[in-house]
Structure 1
Amino acid sequence: MKNEPFFKRDGDHYVPTAAGRGPWNPNSLHGRVIVGLLGFELERKHGDPDFLPARLTVDMYRLPGFDPVEVTTRLIREGGRIRVAEAEFISGGVSMAKATCQFLRRTENPEGKVWKAPEWDVPKPAAIPAPDPSSGPMGRMWSTRPISGGFGQGGQRRMWMSEVRDIVEDEPLTPFQRVAVAADFASPAAHASDQGLAFINSDVTVYLHRLPRTEWIGFESAYHDATEGVAVGECRLYDEQGSIGFASCAALAQKRPARPAPAEAAKAEA
Structure 2
Amino acid sequence: MNNQPFFTRDGEAFVPTEVASGPWDPQSLHGRVIIGLLAFEIEQRHGAADFVPARLTVDMFRLPKLVPIEIKTKLVRDGLRIKVVEAEFFSGGVSMARASCQLLRKTENPAGNVWSPPNWDVPRPADIAKPTDVRLGMHGKWTTRPIVGAMGTLGPRRLWMSEVRELVAGTPVSPFVRVAVAADFANPFANAGDQGLGFINSDVTLYLYRLPMTEWVGFEVVNHHSRDGIAIGECWLYDEEGAIGTSTVAALAQRKPMRNPAHRDVTMP
| Runs of at least 5 residues in structure 1 that lack an aligned partner in the other structure | none
Match for residue 129 of structure 2? 129
TM-align CA RMSD:
1.4
Question: 1:134 Cα deviation (Å)?
Answer: 4.3
Separation in structure 2 between the aligned mates of residue 61 and residue 115 of structure 1, nearest angstrom:
37
SS at match of 1:42: helix
Separation in structure 2 between the aligned mates of residue 116 and residue 262 of structure 1, nearest angstrom:
37
Separation in structure 1 between the aligned mates of residue 265 and residue 209 of structure 2, nearest angstrom:
34
SS at match of 2:258: coil
Match for residue 116 of structure 2? 116
Match for residue 190 of structure 1? 190
Question: 1:140 Cα deviation (Å)?
Answer: 2.9
In the alignment, structure 1 residue 23 sits paired with structure 2 residue 26: no
SS at match of 2:236: strand
Question: 1:141 Cα deviation (Å)?
Answer: 2.0
Instruction: Spell out the pairing of 1:164-175 with structure 2 (5 A cutoff).
Output: 164-175=164-175
SS at match of 1:254: strand
Contact 1:59/1:204 (8 A) holds in 2: yes
Separation in structure 2 between the aligned mates of residue 264 and residue 108 of structure 1, nearest angstrom:
43
Instruction: Spell out the pairing of 1:112-261 with structure 2 (5 A cutoff).
Output: 112-132=112-132, 134-136=134-136, 138-256=138-256, 258-261=257-260
Question: 1:262 Cα deviation (Å)?
Answer: 6.8
The sequence identity of aligned pairs, in percent, is 60
Q: 1:88 and 1:135, CA in 2 relative to 1: closer, same or farther beyond 3 A? A: same
In the alignment, structure 1 residue 94 sits paired with structure 2 residue 98: no
Runs of 4+ displaced beyond 4 Å: 262-265
Contact 2:231/2:251 (8 A) holds in 1: yes
Q: 1:17 and 1:95, CA in 2 relative to 1: closer, same or farther beyond 3 A? A: same
Contact 1:191/1:224 (8 A) holds in 2: yes
> Partner amino acid for 1:261?
N
Count of residues in Structure 1 that have an aligned counterpart in Structure 2: 266
> Partner amino acid for 2:63?
L
Question: 1:260 Cα deviation (Å)?
Answer: 1.9
Match for residue 42 of structure 1? 42
Instruction: Spell out the pairing of 1:4-19 with structure 2 (5 A cutoff).
Output: 4-19=4-19
Worse-superposed segment, 157-166 or 139-148: 139-148
Contact 1:187/1:233 (8 A) holds in 2: yes
Match for residue 81 of structure 2? 81
Match for residue 265 of structure 2? 266
Contact 2:151/2:264 (8 A) holds in 1: no
1:225-266 residue CA offsets vs partner (Å, 9 max, x unmatched): 00100001100000000000000000000112x202376553
> Partner amino acid for 2:209?
H
SS at match of 1:205: strand
Separation in structure 1 between the aligned mates of residue 93 and residue 125 of structure 2, nearest angstrom:
42
> Partner amino acid for 2:54?
A
> Partner amino acid for 1:28?
S
Q: TM-score, normalised by structure 1?
A: 0.95
Separation in structure 2 between the aligned mates of residue 137 and residue 221 of structure 1, nearest angstrom:
21
1:193-234 residue CA offsets vs partner (Å, 9 max, x unmatched): 011100000000100000000000000001000010000110
> Partner amino acid for 1:123?
P
1:158-180 residue CA offsets vs partner (Å, 9 max, x unmatched): 00000001110000000001001
| Runs of at least 5 residues in structure 2 that lack an aligned partner in the other structure | none
SS at match of 2:116: coil
Question: 1:153 Cα deviation (Å)?
Answer: 1.8
Question: 1:111 Cα deviation (Å)?
Answer: 1.4
Worse-superposed segment, 152-161 or 137-146: 137-146
